[in-house]
Amino acid sequence: MKRMFVFLCLISFIASGLILAQDRVLRALKVTNAPVVDGVVDQVWQSATDLNVPLGETYDVHNPASIMDCSGCHNYNSSYTLKLKAVYTTERIYVLAKWTDSTASFTRNGSWDFSSGSWTKPNAEQSEDRIALFFPIGEITGNPWNTKGCMAKCHTYYPTNIDPHVSSHGIVDDAWLESGKADMWHSKAGRGTAYLSAAGSNLTINPITHEVTGGTFSMTGYIDDKWVGEWAHDSINGEDGGRYGDAGGSGYSHNRIGDKSRPKYMETSPTDFADAMVLKDTEIANGECVGDATTGVSDADASTYWTNYAALNAIVPERILKAPTGSRGDIDFGAVWNNNEWTAEFSRALQNGNDDDVQFDVTQKYTFGSATFENSRHGYEHRTSKMDTLIFDTAVGVEDISENVPDSYSLLQNFPNPFNPSTMIEYQITKPMRVKLNVYDVQGRFMRELVNEEKSSGSYFVIWDGKDNSGNLVASGTYFYKIQSGEFIQVKKMTLLK
């Protein structure tokens, strides 16, 4: 049989130390060709392993009185999960995320409406769709990191009588850590993630909330990169407490004049809903808008041009987008909303030298948290994860793809056998089907998932590097590897010698 070999050596490097059995692990697969960061799933993602992250509610959504404090911040289970994948090249890490959301929301609570003949802000409780990842910068100890997970990066809710940092600004929530620093990757659908591009097709739009309820919406831009550390007084850091912007310039500013009575600018002729919902500094500079930074959009201009927004079921944005600079703008982002689901991609350099960012060493493991925000204004309304672990696999392949279709299913004896430190396992399947190939110890305990994906008919191989699913080296001894593809099940024995 003539064969074409594509070698994907699956050798995992992590820091010494155990990953507890109950921890969920996101395995970043090393790839040669990077995915395009646009929210469209490239072929390169097919070899990466899914991590399904259960998301919890911070309170019982059917009983608002259950909001007492954020001692757990994952106290109430939800039906929502976040699906994550990760790959990396020699230079950058890429994360793919998918989560359910029945609407695509871009409206901030301060967005502007002129349908009544004067400027109003009718969507006070909206706050756009978002997703966030939270990584430690060095060592972090104590609460809220230990108990809140990703919630620690948000405006954590505390009633005033037990708030450890009572504020003078009247807001009963802020973000802070007891010690250390954490890197916050925070996508914001109305504040930066659509700066480079925004487009919609076959859209159905709610004219009251201005949310997309059908069709496809895509955007590319930047994550708002911040960090969380120890709490600072209102006079120093305002309502953010211990949350700080990375060095450099923000990707947005308020679209409102000093007395907050009207927007600074509005477009005169937005081409479509996506264009209307995204107001960029370049559009202002190019003369596509009316208004003034000091006096704002006059009632006369608003009367003339508001009908263009109304015809699109759009609203004048509360933010003006611009290109972020420095460390604040070093994470690329692309996302697509379609069929009640967001698909998003993140990308950042593994090492960028910024002290307000996590520096990824592929020989180490990293605890991280996740959160999604379904047009939710308050921190305690976010859906958050418990902590998971990111580890890096060095890999570029696991396949030996035949040019001819095998005439029978087969699991071959590993080679070499006995082996140290790694061995090759070959198998053949006769029709397209999902293949599962796992390693077990002599007591039948699961050790490592080698394959779990749809395969075309053909011959394949996978390299086992003698490590378990958490990246730890296993002991010398006898192990079993089991394949299942449809009704085909076969088990073989192999021996690891050290």
Cβ–Cβ < 8 Å for 458, 402: yes
The fold adopted by the segment(s) 399-496 is Immunoglobulin-like (2.60.40)
Q: What is the domain partition of the chain in residue ranges?
A: 17-251+330-394, 257-322, 399-496
Radius of gyration of the chain from Cα atoms? 25
| Per-residue pLDDT tens over the stretch 133-159 | 989 998 876 655 554 445 444 545 555
Q: Which of 491, 492, 490, 494 is nearest to 409 (CA)?
A: 490
- CA distance linking residue 208 with residue 203, whole number of Å: 15
The fold adopted by the segment(s) 17-251+330-394 is Immunoglobulin-like (2.60.40)
Half-sphere exposure of 418 (CA within 13 A, CB side): 8
Q: Is the pLDDT of residue 77 over 90?
A: no
For the chain, give the longest Cα–Cα distance: 84
| Per-residue pLDDT tens over the stretch 111-136 | 999 999 999 999 887 889 999 998 99
- Residue type at 323? A
| Per-residue pLDDT tens over the stretch 194-220 | 999 999 999 999 999 999 999 999 999
Print burial letters for 63-96: b (CB count within 10 Å at least 16), e (below 16): eeeebebbeebbebeeebbbebbbbbbeebbbbb
Q: Is the pLDDT of residue 73 over 80?
A: no
Those residues with Cβ within 8 angstroms of residue 259's Cβ, 6 or more apart along the chain or in another chain: none
Mean pLDDT value across residues 274-294: 98
Quick check: do 17-251+330-394 and 399-496 share a fold?
yes
Q: Is the pLDDT of residue 263 over 60?
A: yes
The CA-CA-CA angle for residues 127, 131, 132, to 5°, reads 115
The model's confidence at residue 378, banded by pLDDT at 50, 70 and 90, is low
- DSSP element (H, E) containing 391: strand 388-394
- Paired sense of beta strands 130-137 and 173-174, if any: unpaired
The model's pTM:
0.73
Mean pLDDT value across residues 76-86: 83
**Higher confidence at residue 173 or residue 377?**
377
- Residue type at 85? K
Q: Is the pLDDT of residue 414 over 50?
A: yes
pLDDT (0 to 100) of residue 60: 55
**Higher confidence at residue 68 or residue 333?**
333
- CA distance linking residue 252 with residue 193, whole number of Å: 10
The model's confidence at residue 46, banded by pLDDT at 50, 70 and 90, is confident
Report helix, strand or coil for 344.
strand
Q: Where are the alpha helices (DSSP H) in 345-491?
A: none
pLDDT (0 to 100) of residue 164: 61
Report helix, strand or coil for 21.
coil
| Per-residue pLDDT tens over the stretch 424-459 | 898 989 889 999 999 999 888 999 999 998 888 888
318-to-106, 224, 254, 326 alpha-carbon distances in Å: 10, 16, 6, 24
Burial of 350 (0-12, 13-18, 19+ CB in 10 A): middle
